[in-house]
Structure 1
Amino acid sequence: MQLSIAKRSSPGKGKDAKSASSAQRILFTVDVDDSSSVDDLKKAIAKKNKALYPERQRLTTGEAKSILEAGIALSKYNLKDGDTVYLKDLGPQIGWQTVFYIEYIGPIIFHYLVYNFPSIFYGRAFEHSEIQRRVYILVMGHFIKRELETAFVHRFSHGTMPLLNVFKNSFHYHILSGLNLAYWVYGPSSAQGTALAAKLGNPTIIAIFTGVFLFAELSNLSAHITLRNLRPPGTRVRRIPYGYGFDMVSCPNYLFETLAWVSVAAMTRNLAAVLFLVVSTAQMYIWAIKKHKQYRREFPDYPKSRKAMFPLIA
């Protein structure tokens, strides 16, 4: 199979040139045959320019700038010899699995340090209360679970993401759910013997929200396993998920994760926990809406009764 690319020296003139330039796109004309795929095209581009390895490329075509998805035949986009393809350099990439490892290790380190070395962070040692001990165990368990899921459960449809994005993503986890949450939850204001510790230390309330947290974590794991089983190893296959949680919403993993952090916020009644809950839920809802729309666009028979993240609501 032969596939050749001729790089244009200029995007043209007028309005089209301005839009192409502002998007930092490079234009190519392509010669294709019936068996050519988007992957073949990306490999051919990488041959011409080794710095533009396939994961670094975003290819679009047509006036609507439709994205050419990896693994799809070029014929599905009605591309023919001499047609124009736009290439955007996404910059240096990093593997999603590595990104997840980096994101989740931050909270583990910060919670461990703040909880176990209070004299460094608060200037004095003190005994932790029951609510602090319980939250420490639950939060550490949550992020250790996430690391183990990254290693043994997740299968990624996209192999990489832009390297610079890892700093933005890590801020969310390292600071909001890591340092900020740990500092305010494990501090002396709710340590053993304080009025706040007595107020938060009701054993029944702690047991109820611990149960909610564990239910949410196990349900979240179940959703991740369902998604894993939809995609054979080494493929980008996408199918409609069914079963526990998925009959109500498109992203039950986000729903259950939200429920876990609701229980932490309710147990601690701490503004740092509420802040992380609000920010993380808003971000997961944005992701859920995007995935929900993608499911509906990709699968004509997608269940119409499903909501994106919150049953019966949205």
Structure 2
Amino acid sequence: MQITISFRGKSQKPPVTVDLPEDSTVDDLKKAIYKKVPKFYPDRQRLSFNEKTLQEGKPLKEYDITNGENVVLKDLGPQISWKTVFLIEYLGPLLIHPIFYYFKSQIYGENFEHSQMQKFAFYMIMTHFGKRELETLFVHRFSHGTMPFMNVFKNSFHYHALSGINLAYWVYGPWNASGTLNSAREEWYIWTCVAVFVYAQISNFSTHITLRNLRPPGTRVRKIPYGYGFELVSCPNYFFETVAWISICALTNSLAAWFFIVVGFFQMYLWAIKKHKAYRKEFKDYPKNRRAIIPFLV
């Protein structure tokens, strides 16, 4: 069958026609367009028919697309893989925190000994972002392959500026150095914060493994997640992420840390609500007792 492709937005290209077998999918159509117009690789295309967005993997006949129909292509612009974006986001704090921690005399203009609080905070933060990098490389399977390239700068700001420069500057400064009133922490208090942090990180990793195992490699299969954490909320990974950062906030008593988690939790809350609603809409047998992100509450 022949399908006409019209271009919408900034792309002022004349329509093109592609030939496809009757049983083709949306993916097949995107590949055919790419062969005709190499600029528009599949991840750069958003296709719609009768004002309805075409989903990857779906057969064209599901949208009643037949011979001679017109499909509209919107150019999403240059794309970058989600994996690359995540690696860039988490690399920022991994580079920024050691600079503030190890070059304190150059940054703060004086030499001082780090307190126990500062030492534990440094290793907790480095562990957190190191774990995130490893999960991005070896655990996560992304339902969406790419995102607009310019978004990498917006996404990275949250981590590079808020949990990177702003957090590192205020936590590792001389006002928190050994012997100062700000750094005074009971031994039991420090280890309680560390214990909560370790618990939350292990729990967060467990939920990521559960989500990974739901989706076979190279597919976009969606299933109802079950297991540790998922019995109470739809997004326990966000909940445990929040608990881990609250332990860092409690340890450092830093306004910069609290500001980062407030901003981060607000974003995770929005994502969790969206995912929770999507689960309930897609799966009629989705457990009714689950909340979105906070057990028993939200």
- The TM-score with structure 2 as length reference comes to 0.94
- The alpha-carbon deviation at position 135 of structure 1 amounts to 0.5
* Amino acid across the alignment from 2:175: S
Percent of matched pairs sharing the same residue: 58
- The alpha-carbon deviation at position 29 of structure 1 amounts to 7.8
Matched position secondary structure for 1:59: strand
Residues in 2 aligned to 1:25 and 1:176: alpha-carbon distance in whole angstroms: 42
Which residue matches 1:220?
Answer: 204
Which residue matches 2:246?
Answer: 262
Computed over aligned residues only, the root mean square deviation of the Cα atoms, in angstroms, reads 2.1
- The alpha-carbon deviation at position 34 of structure 1 amounts to 3.9
After superposition, the C-alpha distances for 1:93-123 in whole angstroms (9 at most, x for unaligned) are 1111111111111000011110111122211
- The TM-score with structure 1 as length reference comes to 0.89
Aligned counterpart in structure 1 of residue 233 of structure 2, from 245, 249, 252: 249
- The alpha-carbon deviation at position 170 of structure 1 amounts to 0.6
8 Å contact from structure 1 (residues 94, 160) kept in 2: yes
- The alpha-carbon deviation at position 269 of structure 1 amounts to 1.2
Residues in 1 aligned to 2:226 and 2:95: alpha-carbon distance in whole angstroms: 36
Correspondence list, 1:83-94, <5 A:
83-94=69-80
Correspondence list, 1:91-170, <5 A:
91-170=77-156
- The alpha-carbon deviation at position 297 of structure 1 amounts to 2.2
8 Å contact from structure 1 (residues 30, 84) kept in 2: no
What is the number of equivalent residue pairs in this alignment?
A: 298
1:175 matched to 2:161? The reply is yes
- The alpha-carbon deviation at position 25 of structure 1 amounts to 11
- The alpha-carbon deviation at position 44 of structure 1 amounts to 1.4
1:57 matched to 2:41? The reply is no
Matched position secondary structure for 1:156: coil
The alpha-carbon distance between structure 1 residues 23 and 307, as it changes in their structure 2 partners (threshold 3 A), is farther
- The alpha-carbon deviation at position 27 of structure 1 amounts to 7.4
8 Å contact from structure 1 (residues 30, 83) kept in 2: no
- The alpha-carbon deviation at position 136 of structure 1 amounts to 0.4
After superposition, the C-alpha distances for 1:223-275 in whole angstroms (9 at most, x for unaligned) are 00001111111222111110001111111100100111111111111110010
Residues in 1 aligned to 2:29 and 2:254: alpha-carbon distance in whole angstroms: 52
Residues in 2 aligned to 1:231 and 1:121: alpha-carbon distance in whole angstroms: 46
After superposition, the C-alpha distances for 1:185-224 in whole angstroms (9 at most, x for unaligned) are 11111111111112xx111111111111111100000000
8 Å contact from structure 1 (residues 132, 191) kept in 2: yes
The alpha-carbon distance between structure 1 residues 21 and 167, as it changes in their structure 2 partners (threshold 3 A), is closer
1:38 matched to 2:22? The reply is no
8 Å contact from structure 1 (residues 32, 81) kept in 2: no
* Amino acid across the alignment from 1:137: Y
After superposition, the C-alpha distances for 1:61-89 in whole angstroms (9 at most, x for unaligned) are 22xx3321111112222323333322111
Which residue matches 2:4?
Answer: 6
Structure 2: where are the runs of 5+ without partners?
none
8 Å contact from structure 2 (residues 231, 290) kept in 1: yes
